[in-house]
Amino acid sequence: MNRNEISDGFRALQLHICSELEALDGNSTFNEDAWERHEGGGGYTRTLMNGKVLEKAGVAFSAVHGPITEAMKNQLGHEGASFFATGVSIVLHPKHPRHPIMHMNVRYFELEDQTFWFGGGIDLTPHFVNFTKAQEFHLSLKRVCDDFHSDFYRKFKEWADKYFYLPHRGESRGVGGIFFDQLDESCGLKKDKLFAFCQELGRLFPKVYADQLKGGHLQAPTKGELNWQALRRGRYVEFNLLHDRGTKFGIYSGGRTESILMSMPPVANWEYNFEPNANSEEQKTLSFLRDFHDYC
């Protein structure tokens, strides 16, 4: 299993996910931008705008290589002269406030001495929390995790709880999911199995998103719902620019800005000291995000 097989697999995964999301949206299709990186490699950034369901979706693939910079050393905690990295990352910003934001990232990293690891995560950020839907989401993740390793779900769920958290708000970004990094053969699985795990997560992504959209008939959004969505999108911006490791690493190490910031919502609002009404659904979501939860 060499680096080219892995990056080819991730590229195929990107195209598969895009075609599933196009079918789900039923209206808009992805545009593709090919780009090259000065130091080596490049990527394909695919975006869908103003769909019926998806207001802004980004599904990015990249495979890059080159010398390791100081900024990278600090963040990786690894020494080395050169690296290879490939992965797929996705953020979906739906149009309707009753639909959730969803994110995924799977990636592979290799140093010139053949040291390698995988990383990734999937997490769900509803504007309005629905506990049953959150449980379904976690159960789907758990099933895929369990197919590979009995420790994965518990460990990666806890990691996500810590990672997708805004300390300056005392809030989780959403209902969590799974997160893992520097996953290598020391966990007991061989490289091809670890790659298969990442691919399975990728294939799960559009299915899980479709599941999240199922259920009760959707009314046209109210002004209040749209306002709350815009404020929650503001929190999403805060997480990505202040805390998200991938975003910060990309930006500070000179990555392609437009591809990194495709995760930004189309619109975000900030309102000084906004307090939802007592017992409103907005208030319930906020209270929910201030605690940790188990889902399965």
Task: Tell me the catalytic residues.
Answer: 103
Location of structure tokens 């991938």: 246
Neighbour tally for 262: CB within 10 Å:
20
CA 125 – CA 54 distance, rounded (Å): 14
Is residue 95 part of the contact set for its own copies (CB under 8 A)? Answer: no
Give residues 23-42 in contact with its own copies (rule: CB under 8 A). 33
- Whether the CB-CB separation of 276 and 286 falls below 8 Å is answered with yes
Q: Does the protein bind its own copies through residue 262 (CB under 8 A)? A: yes
- Minimum CB separation of residue 43 from its own copies in Å reads 13
Q: Decide: is 47 part of the binding site for its own copies (CB under 8 A).
A: yes
Binding mask 269-288 for its own copies (x = CB under 8 A): xxxxx---------------
Candidates 234, 281, 295, 296; binder of its own copies (CB under 8 A) is 234
Residue 115 CA: distances (Å) to CA of 111, 214, 279: 5, 42, 52
CA-derived radius of gyration, the chain: 19
Binding mask 172-211 for its own copies (x = CB under 8 A): ----------------------------------------
**Which residues from 241-260 bind its own copies, rule CB under 8 A?**
241-242, 248, 251, 254, 257-258, 260
How far CA 112 is from CA of 72, 88, 157, 185, in Å, comes to 15, 22, 31, 17
**In whole angstroms, what is the distance from residue 25 CA to residue 29 CA?**
8
Residue 182's φ and ψ, nearest 5 degrees, are: 50, 45
Minimum distance from CB of 286 to its own copies (Å)?
Answer: 14
Amino acid (1-letter code) at residue 295: Y
213 binds its own copies (CB under 8 A): no
Instruction: Give me the residues that bind its own copies (CB under 8 A), please.
Output: 33, 45, 47, 49, 56, 58, 168-169, 230, 234, 237-238, 241-242, 248, 251, 254, 257-258, 260-262, 264-273
